[in-house]
Structure formats: C-alpha cells, structure tokens
Structure 1
Amino acid sequence: MVQAGVRPDRIGSYSVDDVVFLLRDISKYQLEIKTEEREALIQSGTHYSEMLPMEYQPDEQYISLFHRTLNHYSKRIAIAIGVVAEQIKEKRGLNNLVLVSLARAGTPIGVLVKRYFKAIHRVEIPHYSISIIRGRGIDETAIDYIFAHHAAADIQFIDGWTGKGAITKELKGACQKYNAAHSNQLNASLAVLADPGYCVDIYGTREDFLIPSACLNSTVSGLVSRTVWNESFMEKGDFHGAKFYRELKEVDVSNLYVDCIAAEFAHAIEGIQQRLVELANEDQTPSWKGAQSVERIQEIFSIKNSNFVKPGVGETTRVLLRRVPWKILINPYYSNDLTHILLLAKDKNVQVEEFADMSYSCCGIIKEL
C-alpha cells in the first residue's frame, strides 16, 4: 500500500480538473545531458530513465508548422479521441472508471478523453498521469495512491501511440507483477490514439498519421519532462520523478492543443459514429504487424539491436529530437504527412531514404556509436 503521507507534487501546466500528475518534482537536479553524450551513455549500459535529454527548442518555422498541423488535423484527432472514448465506455462502463495516462505522450490524450466524457456524456471521470519506464515497469506507488483514493477503481491505461509495442509489453508484465502481490487488480488494457504497430485492441486509428503533440516535447505535455527513476537521489517507495519546466511557460501550447481539439467534439459526432460502425466490421485483434516491419528493417539494414529501430511518426520524431539518428526511412505513400520529419532531418543533416515495405509512415534508425 501507499505509505502514509506520501503525496505527489503539484506539477504541470494543465488544470487539476484535466489531470493530476502522480510524480515527484525533481526540478532542482541537473539531469539534462547533451544528446551525443547521453546516447553514448545509453549505448554503454546506463538506463535512459536515469538522465534527461536537453529540451529541444524549435525555431519559428517549426512552431508555425505545429500550429498549421493542429488546425489541419484537429477534427481528425477529435474523431479518433471519440472513437477511443466510446470503446472504453462500451468495454469498461463509466461507474468506477479511472483514466490513467502514461506520462508523457499519453497525458494530452488522456486529458482529451476525459474532456470528451464530460462534453458528450456529462460525466466527470478521474484522470491521473503516471510513469512507466521500459525495463523498470510501472510506478506502483502511483497505482497504490489511486486505489487509496478510489477503492473500486477500474483503471484504463492510455498512451499516445504505439511503435514496436515495447510499452504494451512492459505494461502487461508490470500489471502481472502488481496483481501477484496485491488484492487490488489491474487490467493491462492500453488505449491509444494511433496503433500503427497493431499491438492494442482499443485505438482511434491504425494509420500512422502525424499527431501534432508528437512534434514537441514538454511544451505540449504540460511542461513536464520525461519521467525519471534514479536511485542515486530518489527513495524507494516514492513516486517516479519528473521536472516541471516552469521557465518555458511563455512558449507552452499544452492547453491550446487540448482546447483546439476539444472544440471539435460537437462537430465530430457523425464521424465518430461512422468510424465505430467500420470498427465493428474490423478484426481489432493485435497482429503485431509492426514488429514484422521492424524485423524486415533490421535484416535489410543489418541492425543487430532492435532498440536502434524506432518506427512510426511519433517515435521517429523522438529519435530526431533526443537521440543520435543514423538515417530516417520514409514511406512515400505518407510523404505529405511528414513535413516536420523532413524539416528536422534537414536541420540535423540526417540522411532520408525512401522505404515502402513497412506498416509505418516512417522509421528512425539510431546511429551505433
């Protein structure tokens, strides 16, 4: 159980009506490391969650692209949010539902699902954002905190998108571990806006299209950093940590992003219903088709470590923003959706190559150092 007196810090630029972050504020620690140095540390065995990347600050051209993309895709995203929310309602009901988004890509999606339930179904669903770390599992202190405040909680996990499905697998293993040790039980179901990896059964779309929140870092995710677990200064039994980048308040678009999409809900009802009818005739069973694409890429480009292959527009963006890329593969069928990828690749002088034999619109490959 959660230790008495252990409470999360108040962090993030979202209203508490939208989300409560169950995180420890570690802003006083200097954890950001230059990209090349951080990449070398990761590749030599340091866990990525023990340090933070430098926050990329985009230029005006890139920010203007974010705003154009948001205007262009807001209704499409609103439809996908509604489709996700209606599936959650159908499968889980709303009585004891608690939304738990995975920080940080899941946070804006969780905020939007919560807002959809309020706007369309007139019901307030609790929403928390917690940490999950590949190789280290879920923040069990955060889970204990939720059950302490919602005894009958039926938790639905939410993320932004799938890549290879690493977080889907991590979540499943973490839930099994938690369930074996606790009377409160977790359902490992993960709902995402986009599932190009074909590894979940609740999704808004399986198309690998640009979700504008993938374009930016903390400034579209409540000014919260990636989550951190570093035992050199963090205590066991405490929440996982994150930084609150208060100094970026002037360029924060987190609330603008969710406001813009939520404003489309009323106009998206017809599109949501149409998409739900289509889904009823689809096989939503995970086929892990994306993982097969990754295996092909590894074989063709002689890449031994699958962790160097980051498929999908969201993961490719992350490679360009905070890793050291070797090359970017672009599926020519989706090239119109990839302006920001091409901009970043040009800015960082990264080779771009056409590659159509994958279920994704693009794929980032990390340079082996």
Structure 2
Amino acid sequence: MNKFIQNPAKIGSYREDDVVFLLKDLSEYQLEDSTANRERRVQSGQHYSESLPIEYQPPRAYVDLFRQSLDDYKRKVALCIGIVAEQIYQLKEENTVLCSLARAGTPVGILMKRYLLLRYNVSLPHYSISIIRDRGIDENALHYILEKHPQGKIQFVDGWTGKGAISLELEMACQQYEKKYGVTLDDRLAVLADPGHCTPLFGTREDFLIPSACLNSTVSGLVSRTVLNEKYIGKDDFHGAKFYRELLPSDVSNEYIDSITAEFPFITTDAVKAAAKRNLETIEAEFLGMKDVKKIQAEFSIESTHYIKPGVGETTRVLLRRVPWKILMRDPSRPYVKHILMLAKEKGVEVVIYPDLNYSCCGLIKTVKVDKK
C-alpha cells in the first residue's frame, strides 16, 4: 500500500474533536438538480452518487416537529447509543477507531465517541467516510485511517438499517479490500436502530423515529450526501461532498448532539446491563426486512427493490429527496410517523394503511424514467 499523503478537507459545522471528514470539498461546484429531473436521470441509468438533490428547506411547523421529536425521544436515543457503544468497546476497547458512513452515520458516531469519553474517559478517533451502493467504499479513506492508526480496529457506524443494502455493500467492500491489500476489516455495521435485522451490533431493533432522520444536512454538520463523479474525483481523491455554509442560520447539528449527550448520565447503568446481556446472546443478521420488500414488490408490481424503502428513516429520505409514489403505513396513530404524515400531506403523496408490515412504514418511489426507443 502506497504512503497516503492527502490531508482531509476542513468541512462541516461539527467540532474537529468530534469528527474528521475524509471527503473532498466540492462546495464550489453546482451538483444539484430538481428532484424530478434527478429522479429521471437516476432511473434512466445515471448513478445517484454523480449528482445531488436540492436540499429540502422545511417549513417552520416541520422544524418545530423535529424539536418536539428530539425532546420526546432524546433519552431513548441516548440509551440506544449507550447500548451499542458498550458492545463496541467490550469488543475492541481502546484500539477502536470509529468510522461513520457519511452522512447518516456521522451524528451516531459522534454520539458514540462522546458516550465512551464520558463512560471510560477515552477519546477514540472518529472519521466519517463515504460508501456508495453499487460503487463500494472509499478505499483512499481506509488507506488514510490505517496509516494513521496501524494498530487500530475499525468499527463502521451508520444511523439505521432499511432492507440492508449498505450492510451488504460494506460486507462486499471489506472482502474486496482484503483481496486487494491483504487487510482484514470487521464488516459488522454498528447502528442505532436495526429494524431490518441486518447486524448484531445495534441499540434497538424497533423501527422508531431517530430525530436526526427528520432533516438533511442541517442535522448532519451541513455536509451533503457523498458524491462519486469522475469529473470531480480523481483516483487519489477521497469521495466528495459539499459544505452548505449558507445554511448555517438553520443548522441544528450541534444542538442535536448536545441534547443527546446531556442524557448520557441518566442511561449509563441501563446501557451497561443491556449490552452485557446482548453480548451473551447469539444474534444473527437475518435480513428479515427483505421479506417485506419482496412481498410489497409483488403486490404493487414494482420493477426494482431499489424503489422500495422500508423503515421510518428510509421513508423520510424518500419524501425529502426522491419522487414518492405512495407511503405504506402500519398504524398512522403511532407517534413515530407524525413527521411522515406532515411531509406526505405537504407533497400530496397518498398514504396507504398497510397493517401487515414489520416496519412502521415504507416509502415507494415513483417510476419516472423515460423509455429509450
């Protein structure tokens, strides 16, 4: 492996001691397009990572709902962070290197780092890197981490699981990395919530509302989705992202982190007990969510499982940055789906009551591609 000398760009609104983004700063480029145009291009063959959606700027009522959700669930989120952070630390201890998958994993990785600092008085290194479905992980970022921490044990971190596409992408990427460079990586993904049953390292398997799923960059350090486009990314570059400095007045990223961090002293005892019990169990990654997805695909005659996004987090993403067709909902009276009902009403998207669903809800993407003749 060649010596890696690229320095990380200083992007994002998080504190540097919370996370280092191993991303190329693409802020000067115009990468966004309307949701409708972008959806047509993606469904006609362009990879989603080559461009960016326009950042959704929510109305005041929606931001108020985010703040209410944060107030309602901050202790639950803190407990889930504590449980999975304890699992990780018991496995890898001081050699742990937290490696969040940008961008949904970044706030989760920061919270794990903060929890472990409070609990064990150890400040673990924490990086945020890119992984892209069907394109793999940023190998240059992995080179950088391994050179900086030759004795480190990388722990990959994400926000939640849907049907498990990223878990499978990570597993494949780690296999390819070992084959190319002779380095074995732990491909188990640590997440706050695992409703898809895709990993043994999780805080909960309940499909509940993680407040950071409600918003885009304004709760993720003002960093965009990651970009892999050969126009802007060379072979020695990190994958790219934009830093939305113009959204600083709307940024709640650090407010979110600080609110959850303040709950850690109240949940530590329960987190330690739950993690100790979890580590005695044999927990398999069964990818149960795909059973729901296949059933929905057949019932609604959907061309590809890529157009089916199960779970609260993934359904929120469909409404914020894709062209939604329908929302399937197990029980619209559940508190975890209030923001989804608000977004669906705002965007004129049909909500279908679908009781036979393991998730709280599921977002279906509209087919908009133009057939080539």
TM-score, scaled to structure 2: 0.96
Aligned counterparts of 2:275 and 2:232: Cα–Cα separation in 1 = 47
Query: Could you tell me which residue of structure 2 aligns to residue 321 of structure 1?
Result: 320
Shift in Å, 1:29? 0.6
Aligned: 1:356 with 2:320 = no
Contact in 2 for aligned 1:32/1:51 (Cα 8 Å): yes
Query: Could you tell me which residue of structure 2 aligns to residue 121 of structure 1?
Result: 120
Contact in 2 for aligned 1:194/1:206 (Cα 8 Å): yes
Query: Could you tell me which residue of structure 1 aligns to residue 74 of structure 2?
Result: 74
Aligned: 1:299 with 2:298 = yes
Q: Which amino acid aligns with 1:252?
A: D
5 Å-filtered alignment, 1:140-155, equals 140-155=139-154
Q: Provide structure 1 residue ranges, at least 5 long, that are not aligned to the other structure.
A: none
Contact in 2 for aligned 1:290/1:358 (Cα 8 Å): no
Query: Could you tell me which residue of structure 2 aligns to residue 167 of structure 1?
Result: 166
Query: Could you tell me which residue of structure 1 aligns to residue 371 of structure 2?
Result: none
Q: Which amino acid aligns with 1:222?
A: G
Q: What is the count of residue pairs matched by the alignment?
A: 368
Deviates more, 1:353-362 or 1:70-79: 353-362
Shift in Å, 1:5? 3.3
Residue 334 of structure 2 aligns to a residue whose secondary structure is helix
Aligned counterparts of 1:290 and 1:278: Cα–Cα separation in 2 = 24
Residue 87 of structure 1 aligns to a residue whose secondary structure is helix
Shift in Å, 1:150? 0.7
Post-superposition Cα deviations, 1:49-82, rounded to whole Å, max 9, x if no partner, equal 0000000000110000000100110000000000
Q: Provide structure 2 residue ranges, at least 5 long, that are not aligned to the other structure.
A: 369-373
Shift in Å, 1:270? 3.2
Shift in Å, 1:335? 2.4
Query: Could you tell me which residue of structure 2 aligns to residue 55 of structure 1?
Result: 55
Query: Could you tell me which residue of structure 2 aligns to residue 311 of structure 1?
Result: 310
Aligned counterparts of 2:333 and 2:306: Cα–Cα separation in 1 = 24
Post-superposition Cα deviations, 1:308-360, rounded to whole Å, max 9, x if no partner, equal 10000000000000000110001117722100000000000000011122221
Query: Could you tell me which residue of structure 1 aligns to residue 87 of structure 2?
Result: 87
Aligned: 1:22 with 2:22 = yes
Note closer, same or farther for the CA distance 1:203–1:28 as it changes in structure 2 (3 Å cut).
Answer: same
**Identity %, equivalent residues:** 56
Residue 239 of structure 1 aligns to a residue whose secondary structure is coil
5 Å-filtered alignment, 1:97-112, equals 97-112=96-111
Query: Could you tell me which residue of structure 2 aligns to residue 241 of structure 1?
Result: 240
Post-superposition Cα deviations, 1:136-186, rounded to whole Å, max 9, x if no partner, equal 000000000001111112000000000010000000000000111113321
Contact in 1 for aligned 2:318/2:364 (Cα 8 Å): yes
Shift in Å, 1:272? 1.6
Query: Could you tell me which residue of structure 2 aligns to residue 195 of structure 1?
Result: 194
